[in-house]
Structure 1
């Protein structure tokens, strides 16, 4: 499954080579591959490469969201092109139950970065335990730039006719995610494995 992020969050064409996101089956999970221009703006996060980094969305990242739109449970994966002495880049994996309601964060991730002068490639392995039950929708985003040059891009943007005056980019507008089915990738007979994380460590929905 191949996707290209060709628009800004509000539906305008991007002015560079689009970020490419690819999903493919792996034993016990999914391989998430990213190929993107390398802007080097803002500078790399100060955290240790290869480790989770809180608030990674404030830097240069590519993100993938996997949603069950009935329960509003979703997985958010953020990947950063930072590479230091051949080590892996920073990442951030969040589990959410309800819009913006993070109940598990900074999960470990197998993630490798290959950076070149003008672009970067990342390969991450997402175990089935990270995905909420019955993923039905998907979206992907890219962020780069500093201050007034900050750019927010979306695979499935907010339609321009629905924009409101003064509206800001918000990647948690789940209503704009598009239908997604792992059976397209793995065959009609395949069933998503149950996740111990989601079944055993259910978030407290009373808050």
Structure 2
């Protein structure tokens, strides 16, 4: 059985979608969810879905080896950032080469980098008069949003779309593509 550990910072809609997708899968399972916000709604979603969820703070993530040691002990086949906003420490990137995957709500390299997440991305896409946007699923390296691109999916946007409407279109792409791409990564690698 291939095992995924998810990292999230917010409401966890992508987390729920991934857990549901792999819920009865014969080859892939979500073994745990980690969050850096003890008030994140993802914790409620995990309780409802009966998936172990753990909270950690910045000290456990950056200044000690608590999270690192947990991940090493769990030995997941993939670590998936599903709305996780902190930069991944170099030692984790090194320990899990091509095993940490992120989803970004734009077509990288556009609208990526530090501070570009969620609504900020959709507002920038709108302000710049883009005619399309989408999602990028990519490997994580030592820099924000610069790891190797695994998959991109696009959607058209009109000049009349609000940032909220753009977000809805992007979320639809995330829900459709993210679990399938993760499945493909895990099963094509043996």
TM over 0.5: no
Normalised by the size of structure 1, how large is the TM-score?
A: 0.25
**Higher helix proportion (structure 1 or 2):** 2
Higher RCO structure (Cα 8 Å, ≥6 apart): 1
